[in-house]
Structure 1
Amino acid sequence: MATHTNSSSPIALIVGAHGTVGSALSPLLTARGYRVRRATSRAPHAADEVHLNLLTGEGLSDALAGVDQAFLMAPPGHVNQDVLLGPAIDAARAHGLRRVVLMSAMGANADERSPLRLAEKHLQASGLAWNVIRPNWFMQNFNSYWIQGIREQGQIFLPVGQARGSFIDARDIAAVAAALLTTDTHTNAEFDLTGAEALDHDQVAAILSQATGRTIGYTEVTPEAMRPGLLAAGLSPEYADLLLLLLSYFKAGYAERTTDAVQRITGRAPISFDKYAHDYREAWA
C-alpha cells in the first residue's frame, strides 16, 4: 500500500461525508495516506470540511479544486438523482480528477431510464476513470430507518413478506470504495455489493434478539399502512412512493442474490449480520 508525505498527499473528496458510508470511508482513506475533504451541505465546522449543496450546485467548484479522487452519491430523499449528480460529474471532469467512484443502488441498472441508471451512464461516458458500486439494502437500516418500531414495540414493521435480502454492512461498502479510490486494479468496472448470506426478516429479528437480549419480532404490514409513517418522518410523497416501490421489489425476491464483490475487492469476507448486530446492539437497548 502506497503512503505519501502530507505535502504531496493526494486529496479525496467525500460527498455525503457525514452519512453512514462516508463517515466510515474517511478514516480508511486517511489510513492509506490520503488527505480527505469532507463535503457537507451544512456550514463547515472543521478544517477538512467544505460546503457543497448538490441541490443548487453551490460550492461545487471549490469542493473539487485540487482534488484527485472523489466519492459521489446522491443526497438521500430525492428521486431525481441524475439531475443532481450530472453537474458534479461534469465538474469532476473539468477539474481533471483522476478517478470517481459513484455509489448507486443494487437494481438501478434494471431500468435504463431510472434516474440512478442515467447518473451511472453519465459517469461512464464522461472520460473519467470510474467505478460504480451498487450496494444492496444496508444492515444499518435496522439501527436508523427501521429503529422506531424495534425500540418502542420490539417489532420490525415492513411490507416484504418472507422474502430474503443479502444485507450489506455499510463498513464493507466503505472498504470497497476505499480500495477502488486508491488502486487501479478495477478501473472502469461496476459492482453489485451484498453480504455473504440472504436472510428473511424473521431471521433478522432472531439475530437482533440474541444480540440485545430482547424479544424482537417481525410483523408484515401493507405498503398503505407504512406510507403515513414515512411521510410523518419527513419523507416527500415522491420519495416515500419510491421507497415503497423498492420494498415491493424486495418482496418479489430481487434482493436475495449474493455476489463475491466485497471479497474480491477487499480480500476479506463481508461482515456477517451477527457481527453487525453485536456491534450495534446498544442502538436497540
Structure 2
Amino acid sequence: MSTFLVVGANGSVASEVARLLAAQGHSVRKGTSRAATEAGQVHLNLLTGAGLTEALSGADGVFLFAPPGHVNHDELLIPVIDAAKAQGVRKLVLMSAMGANADPSAPLRKAELHLEASGLAWNIIRPNWFMQNFNTFWLHGIQTQNQILLPLGQAKGSFIDTRDIAAVAATLLSTDAHANRDFDLTGPEALDHDQVAAILSKETGRQIGYQDITPEAMQAGLLGAGLPAPYVGFMLLILSYFKAGYAERVTDSVSQVTGQAPRSVAQYAHDHRASWALPAN
C-alpha cells in the first residue's frame, strides 16, 4: 500500500478522495490549512508554504488543487509541484477546471504546464461545474426566494457530482493505467437551470425556479458575502464562459477511468434532498 497526501482535505472533493484511498487500504495524510485536530491530519498552508516539506515527506502521491477564493493559482500550486519533485513523490494528480487549458497565460494552465514538464508522473483532471454548488454556494437564493439566482440565461452545463470527481482522482492516484494524461470530467447530460430547478422541485416537493439575474446583481451578492474583489471578477468571468456555451460539452471520462457511469442531476438531488428542506419556523 502507498502513502498519499490529499491537499485541502476538508473540501468536498478532497475529503471524498481521502475516504476512497483509505478504504483501499492506503495511508492517507489529510492536508488542512487549519490546525490539525485529528489522527491523519497534517497542517499545510499553501498561501505561506507552512508545513509543506513535512506533509510531503515519504509521500508516494499527492492530490492537489488551488484553494478557493484566490486567483493566483500558479503561484500557489507550482511550489507544491516543485517540492513534491524534490521530496521524491512519484505521482501528482492536479484538479484544475474545464476550459483552463484554453489559455496558456491563465494561472491554472501555467500550473498544468509546469506539472507536465516536472518529470513527475501526473494526471490533470478538469471537472465542469459541481452539482454540489446547488446545496452550497447557490443555496441561499433557494432557501430565501425559492430561486436559483445566476446570470446564465438558458445556457446548459454538464454538471458533475463531486463524488465522481473524487472517484476519478483516487483511481488515477492509485493506479498507473492512465499515466500522464489529462481528462475533462462531466456528468452524463447537459441541462439548463430551468431543468435543474424542475428536478429539485420534483425531488423536494417545493416549487423551485430559476431567475436569470444580471452580472451586476451577481457581483453585488458575491461582494456582499465577503468574497475578495479579484475573486469576484474571476467568478464573473467564468460564469460568462458558461453563458457563452462552453460548459455544455459532455465527455465519457468518468466511465473511462472508473468503469462506472457518472451520477445524474436527478440522482444527486435525491441523495441531497435534505439540503433543500424548508427551514423550520
Pairwise TM-score range, normalised by the shorter structure: over 0.9
Aligned identity (percent) is 66
Letter in 1 for 2:94: L
What RMSD in Å do the two structures reach over aligned CA positions?
0.6
* Structure 1 match to 2:42: 50
The Cα of 1:276 is off from its aligned counterpart by 0.2
Asked if 1:215 is matched to 2:207, the reply is yes
* Structure 2 match to 1:203: 195
* Structure 1 match to 2:103: 111
What does 1:26-65 align with in structure 2 at a 5 Å threshold? 26-65=18-57
| Farther-moved stretch of structure 1 (23-32 vs 194-203) | 23-32
* Structure 2 match to 1:12: 4
What does 1:38-187 align with in structure 2 at a 5 Å threshold? 38-187=30-179
C-alpha distance in 1 between matches for 2:227 and 2:126? 22
C-alpha distance in 2 between matches for 1:27 and 1:141? 21
* Structure 2 match to 1:250: 242
C-alpha distance in 1 between matches for 2:259 and 2:18? 20
5+ long unaligned stretches in structure 1: 1-8
Letter in 1 for 2:162: A
C-alpha distance in 2 between matches for 1:254 and 1:239? 20
CA deviations on 1:103-150 (whole Å, 9 max, x unpaired) are 000000010100000000011010000000000000000001000000
5+ long unaligned stretches in structure 2: none
What SS does the corresponding residue of 2:18 show, helix, strand or coil?
A: helix
C-alpha distance in 1 between matches for 2:15 and 2:2? 19
The Cα of 1:153 is off from its aligned counterpart by 0.8
* Structure 2 match to 1:5: none
* Structure 2 match to 1:282: 274
Runs of 4+ aligned residues of structure 1 deviating over 3 Å after TM superposition are none
C-alpha distance in 2 between matches for 1:153 and 1:204? 16
CA deviations on 1:155-213 (whole Å, 9 max, x unpaired) are 00000000000000000000000100000000000000000100000000000001111
User: What is the TM-score normalised by the length of structure 1?
Assistant: 0.96
